[in-house]
Amino acid sequence: MAHSSQTGPAASWLSPEPEVARYVAFLRAINVGQHTVKMADLRRSFEAIGLASVESFIASGNVGFEADAVDEAGLERRSETALQGDLGYRVDTFVRTSKELSEIAAHRPFDGLDVESRGWRLFIVLVGSRPKPETAARLTALSSELDAFEVRNREIYWLVRGRYGDSKFSGALLERTLEMPATVRGAPTVRKIAARFS
């Protein structure tokens, strides 16, 4: 008895094409101190690990790309390994899907307070994992008349009721309080990035 073959185009349904998703990687301290990285070199690092449609946006280390839908932690590790090899120093990387980023940008923390109309500054702190409840409590306990914090998923919304220079906080102090690496972006910048890569 002849057996039918399941190879070739007619059997392509057996192994569907992997789903492709859009991501944005936020890089920590990519251009500070003695380090200066050209955006073209940065894009090549991401392309070299098989990521597609790589595009940098604003020179503070924001990279959009497409990849098969996989876990974000895996993309972070691959990116960090590639950057370590290409640049010679560690660059912590925080990856979000375009959908997540849209939700982050749309969220209005502090009960929907209209920050811009008051002349205040809102920053979004991105971390690799959701802070533990005790860590979040330790951070919010540091709130003052000038600074306030709201923890939501893997982001911390940091409100400065005045000028940034008046705040007693910095990215380094936030990292020590959270006990994990983090990167900070102004909320208007995050909204621009979300609009670009949505």
Per-residue pLDDT reduced to its tens digit, 128-141: 999 999 999 999 99
Per-residue pLDDT reduced to its tens digit, 41-91: 999 999 999 999 999 998 779 999 999 877 888 999 999 999 999 998 899
- CA 92, 93, 95 angle in degrees (round to 5)? 160
In a domain, 10, yes or no: no
- CA-to-CA dists, residue 147 to 43, 117, 132, 163, angstroms: 35, 17, 21, 10
Structure confidence at residue 98 as a pLDDT band (50, 70, 90): very high
Same domain, 39 and 55: yes
| Interval 18-37 mean pLDDT | 84
Same domain, 138 and 170: yes
Instruction: Return the biggest CA–CA distance within the chain.
Output: 84
In a domain, 94, yes or no: yes
Same domain, 55 and 131: no
Residue finishing a domain among 45, 71, 101? 101
Same domain, 146 and 179: yes
Cα(135)–Cα(123) distance, integer angstroms: 19
Where residue 26 sits, what CATH number does that domain have?
Answer: 3.30.70.1280
Task: Give the range of the structural domain holding residue 121, as residue numbers without chain letter.
Answer: 104-197
In a domain, 12, yes or no: no
Number of structural domains found in the chain: 2
Cα(28)–Cα(183) distance, integer angstroms: 5
Residue finishing a domain among 101, 129, 164? 101
Cα(90)–Cα(84) distance, integer angstroms: 5
In a domain, 5, yes or no: no
Stretch among 35-39, 51-55, 71-75, 189-193 having the lowest mean pLDDT: 35-39
Same domain, 91 and 133: no
Q: Dihedral (C-alpha) 122, 126, 131, 137: value to the nearest 10 degrees?
A: -20
Q: Please say if the pLDDT value at position 34 is more than 80.
A: no
Residue finishing a domain among 101, 120, 146? 101
Same domain, 139 and 189: yes
Q: Is the pTM of this model over 0.75?
A: yes
- CA 67, 153, 116 angle in degrees (round to 5)? 100
